[in-house]
Amino acid sequence: MESKRVSESKTYMTDLVLPPDANAYGNIFGGLVMAYVDKIASITSMRHCRKPVVTASTDSVDFLAPIKVGDTIQLEAFVSWTHHTSMEIFVKIESENLLTGEKKLTGTSYLTFVAIDEEGRPVEVPAIIPETDEEIWHYQTAPSRREQRLQRKAERIKVSNPYHHQ
């Protein structure tokens, strides 16, 4: 299977934050941001592997600053690393004040998706070729995030079933 450049599946999404999207403080609902993150990460992973995908993990969603009503929410997602059947997706969340042009980093997220076949079984995905300094950094640091993800999953299984022996 031929490797693909990160830029081949990079995805962008922009939307205007309106009053129904916000809480009583005029900030976008965190759950709505999370839905945008999952959606753009799904699109990115499907573009990369050209297969159906399922969300396997949301490692983190770090909210760094609020997005106000009247601003735009802008998301950028790219495949930061691949394993045999899985893809780690990095999502950057920004806001833009349309009146001043000020842009702000408002959040980041890592998610893992698994490509599946018609029967729902995992299938192999292409490797990636990082191109920019940012992509290279995410790629080089991905194996440690994967290890943390696997360790966290094993701990959760153990806690939810104390009689489970590995």
CATH number of the domain at 141, please.
3.10.129.10
Instruction: Give pLDDT tens digits for 99-146.
Output: 999 999 999 999 999 999 999 999 999 999 999 999 999 999 999 898
Structural domain contains residue 127: yes
Instruction: Give pLDDT tens digits for 17-44.
Output: 999 999 999 999 999 999 999 999 999 9
Interatomic CA distance for residues 16 and 32, integer angstroms: 12
Long-range contacts made by residues 156-165, C-beta under 8 angstroms, separation at least 24?
Answer: none
Contact residues for 88 (Cβ-Cβ < 8 A; gap 6+): 79, 80, 81, 82, 110, 111, 112, 142, 145, 146
pLDDT at res. 33: 98
Mean of the pLDDT values across residues 95-100?
A: 98
Structural domain contains residue 51: yes
The structural domain count of the chain equals 1
**pLDDT class for 164, splitting at 50, 70, 90?**
low
Structural domain contains residue 62: yes
**pLDDT class for 163, splitting at 50, 70, 90?**
low
Mark residue 164 as left, alpha or beta (left: phi above 0; alpha: psi -120 to 50; beta: remaining): beta
Query: What is the SS3 assignment for 126?
Result: coil
Tokens of 82: 């691949």
3-state helix, strand, coil in the chain (%, to 5): 35, 35, 30
Structural domain contains residue 72: yes
pLDDT at res. 106: 98
- 166 pLDDT above the threshold of 70: no
Structural domain contains residue 165: no
**Strand pairing category for 72-82 and 86-96:** antiparallel
**pLDDT class for 158, splitting at 50, 70, 90?**
confident
Interatomic CA distance for residues 62 and 80, integer angstroms: 17
Q: How many helices (H) and strands (E) does the chain have?
A: 2, 7
Residue 68 belongs to domain spanning: 4-160
